[in-house]
Amino acid sequence: MNLVSYFFLGLLAAIIGALPLGTTNVAVINTTIKENIQSALKIIYTAALAEIILVLIAIRFNLQIENFVAMNLHLQYTIALLLLAVGIVLILRKKKCMKDEKEECILIKKRKFQVDKQMLGFILGLVNPTVLIYWILVISFLSEKRLYLSLNKEYLLLIFFLSGAFIGKALTLYGYGKFSNVLKARLKNKTTRINTIIGTLLICISIFQFSKIFYY
């Protein structure tokens, strides 16, 4: 296959992998609703960069990681439980603030510690075992079809594949951001509903993670 074909393989694989709701998607939605799409872009670009690192790790250590995850299911349970707990807390937590006549918060106590958007996107993109496993499966599937990716040879093929993966991840997350922007414009009483929406999304992700563990 030629270079363009490898680019589109990476693009398609990244889009498919990024479509299901994950913590990075939720962070993009949350940031877009609470701030704006420009702030969400800071998360999107660094998350896409982290995706490249996960692809490289999957190519280099695919068999070792697959065996490790299979033998340590408690890690997957822990991640799913944490997402479930955070989601429940967000739904049940009541935000204290001064409200205007439209029930919107006009004064909210700021957090003492805030994570930089670029760093948040990179961490959420990199510390993501589900996405890593997905790329391991993709690399294994391509190998079965004699579409090999290696860190030792065919560097141009690898660069084009990684470029496609970067753009695919960024485009999908940007799509989530644009959707959230539309939701933001239509949503009334945003400050009292945002946590409920984000919490519900996290619970859905947690349920999805549990279902994958039970039926994989």
Give the model's confidence band at 106: pLDDT under 50 very low, under 70 low, under 90 confident, else very high: very low
Give the range among 98-112, 116-130, 170-184 with minimum mean pLDDT: 98-112
Of 91, 101, 109, 87, nearest in space to 192 by CA: 91
Of 129, 159, 189, nearest in space to 52 by CA: 159
Of 11, 145, 7, 135, nearest in space to 61 by CA: 135
* pLDDT tens profile 60-73: 886 666 565 556 66
Which residue range is the domain that position 169 belongs to? 3-215
* pLDDT tens profile 152-163: 667 888 899 999
The runs of H, that is alpha helices, within 93-154 are 117-126, 129-144
Give the model's confidence band at 107: pLDDT under 50 very low, under 70 low, under 90 confident, else very high: very low
Decide if pLDDT at 105 tops 80: no
What pLDDT, on a 0 to 100 scale, did the predictor assign at position 108? 44
* pLDDT tens profile 114-153: 678 899 899 989 988 778 878 888 888 887 777 777 766 6
Residue type, 108: I
User: Higher pLDDT residue, 205 or 32?
Assistant: 32
Question: Count of domains in the chain?
Answer: 1
What pLDDT, on a 0 to 100 scale, did the predictor assign at position 21? 76
Give the model's confidence band at 199: pLDDT under 50 very low, under 70 low, under 90 confident, else very high: confident
What does residue 108 show for φ and ψ, rounded to 5 degrees? -125, 135
CB distance 149 to 9 below 8 Å: no
Per the prediction, the chain carries an average pLDDT of: 78
Give the range among 1-10, 135-144, 173-182, 194-203 with minimum mean pLDDT: 194-203
Decide if pLDDT at 2 tops 70: yes
